Structure 1
Amino acid sequence: MQTLYLVVPCVIFFLSVFPNGFCLADTNMKSGSQCSEADYSDTDGTFQTNLRSLLDSLASNVVEHHGFYQNVAGKKANRVYGTVLCRGDISVSNCSDCTLNSTRVATNDCPMSNDVTIWFRWCFLRYSNESFFGDMQQTAVTITNETDFDDPSVVSEGLPFMTGIAAEAPDKSFMFHTAVLNANKSGKRYGMAQCTRDISREDCRRCLDAQLVTFRTVIGNKRRWEIYGSNCFMWYNDYQFYSNGSTLLSAAWRPSSCTSSIIGFILAVSAALLMFF
């Protein structure tokens, strides 16, 4: 498969609203999209029916699976493969909201495409008529401010710091990792990396390393940047943009109402049986 890199320098025009350049951690926004050409004729509506079923399934199951879920809908020529990944630091409700929003954007922005990728700050969505599960791809976009240069004394530390995060993230249970760089008088720098969980840990490491190499000249002297790929993602900033609170990765399992009823029934039966012994 041909490797494709998309470099998108982003001069941020909302500096008057967000003087620090990037939005705050609790603000979600679309970061990019990629739609294949209008390459199918859905004469009987089968593909669209399967797509709606798939997108509903992704939105309904992503939280239960700790922010990453894949599924397939349909058969043969009209089969659709889909995946969704939420950023590991966000809450359960934000993951759910972002997933729903990304499915709406995908169908609105790419109504006649059968291979669609949508990047939001909080989540990532892709679907295709061809299977891509477990196939590590290096398609990526980067977002940075062309004028937002970092303190020269910190520039030499930034990339090694993110290289360290790239080395540690694959070994984490959810292939998600955050870290802080103490940059002396210039304050702190915050980094984060994450991979989709359908690729191997070694592919995750290769994916993150390749992003740092490919975009080195674009991000090397910037104090804020983000890279969104098909299988791995990286963020770097001069303020703590990620959450340390309750996240979808730390959310405790809660039994469904059906499961709760079954548990309650078992407990009631057990209590009744104990009365006879």
Structure 2
Amino acid sequence: MASMVIMASYKIIPLLFFITFLSSATSDDESQPTFLSHACSSDKTFPANSAFQSDLTTLLSSLASDNTANTDFYNTTVAGGGETAYGLFMCRGDVTLEVCHQCVVEATKRLTSDCQFSKEAVIWYDECMLRYSNTSFFSTVDTRPRLGLLNTGNIANPASFMRLLFTTMNETADLAAKPALGEKKYATKEAFISGFQTLYCLAQCTPDLSPEDCRRCLSGVIGDLNWCCDGKQGGRVLYPSCNVRYELYPFYQTPA
């Protein structure tokens, strides 16, 4: 089914967006992570063979190393002589650790190639998110750059549907922001639209955010559903610090 991508560029310029079509939401090899988009800083760069490039290479290698294969969230820093490099990854709350690690490995490879010489970058896959910067962003709500993806199919009764969507998504965000002890800041929730149709919602924050900051981030990303997906059958908005998604079909794994 056709999808559209809406994204604010890394340079924070109000009302400046670019729109492109995503030809497919699936990969030819189902075992491969599904790339969504990335943003690379164009105004914050570093020269080739600089100390920061060496530190960044070490950082990305650390994020994708075997030492991180048993976790779905990890952050680290490298200060080897240049500016300190900060990086983290987070995987979607329902994916296996094996899928998570594979996604992180692919993300570091793609950023190394596509965001060459950028001091800041974020990359989103369906299964994971990874970012790095030369300034610390740990435990901080970051809402830009943002990415919106939508299902181009329209809802028959958009006004009532959007009311149900916002109610259900806010309930999902409440659950994600205050999880049980030891649980992820991740939640899913369903709502019945009719006897044969169900709404599926997902919300997630990076675990380093406080409950209050997580909920504040999710409030912003939920508010952007109007910007992205008003009256559409499915969509998502992704920030560096949190994300939400909804569909009319199950797109996440439900715990047994």
Q: The TM-score by the shorter chain falls in which range?
A: 0.7 to 0.9
2:34 is matched with which residue: 29, 39, 49?
29
Q: Does 1:132 align with 2:176?
A: no
Extract unaligned runs of 5+ from structure 1.
15-21, 247-277
Say if 1:94 and 1:198 are closer, same or farther in 2 by CA, change over 3 A. Answer: same
Extract unaligned runs of 5+ from structure 2.
1-11
Bigger helix fraction: 1
Q: What's the TM-score once normalised by structure 2's chain length?
A: 0.82
Q: Does 1:220 align with 2:226?
A: no
Partner residue in 1 for 2:204: 194
Q: Percent identity?
A: 28
Q: Which amino acid aligns with 1:141?
A: L
Q: Which amino acid aligns with 1:161?
A: T
Q: Does 1:240 align with 2:250?
A: yes
2:79 is matched with which residue: 74, 87, 96?
74
Q: What's the TM-score once normalised by structure 1's chain length?
A: 0.76
2:113 is matched with which residue: 108, 116, 130?
108
Partner residue in 2 for 1:171: 178
Can you list the C-alpha shifts for 1:105-139, whole angstroms capped at 9, x where unaligned? 00000111111111111111111111111121111
**In structure 2, what is the Cα distance between the partners aligned to 1:3 and 1:89?**
34
Say if 1:23 and 1:236 are closer, same or farther in 2 by CA, change over 3 A. Answer: farther
- Compute the displacement of 1:217 (Å): 4.2
Bigger strand fraction: 2
Q: Does 1:39 align with 2:45?
A: yes
Say if 1:93 and 1:7 are closer, same or farther in 2 by CA, change over 3 A. Answer: farther
- Compute the displacement of 1:58 (Å): 1.3
- Compute the displacement of 1:10 (Å): 5.5
Secondary structure of residue in 2 paired with 1:78: coil
- Compute the displacement of 1:186 (Å): 4.6
Partner residue in 2 for 1:123: 128
Say if 1:4 and 1:190 are closer, same or farther in 2 by CA, change over 3 A. Answer: farther
Which of structures 1 and 2 has the bigger CA Rg?
A: 1
Q: How many residues align?
A: 235
Secondary structure of residue in 1 paired with 2:33: coil
Partner residue in 2 for 1:249: none
Q: Is the 8 A contact 2:221 2:238 kept in 1?
A: no
Can you list the C-alpha shifts for 1:167-214, whole angstroms capped at 9, x where unaligned? 221111311001111111351111111100111110110011111223
**In structure 1, what is the Cα distance between the partners aligned to 2:247 and 2:108?**
28
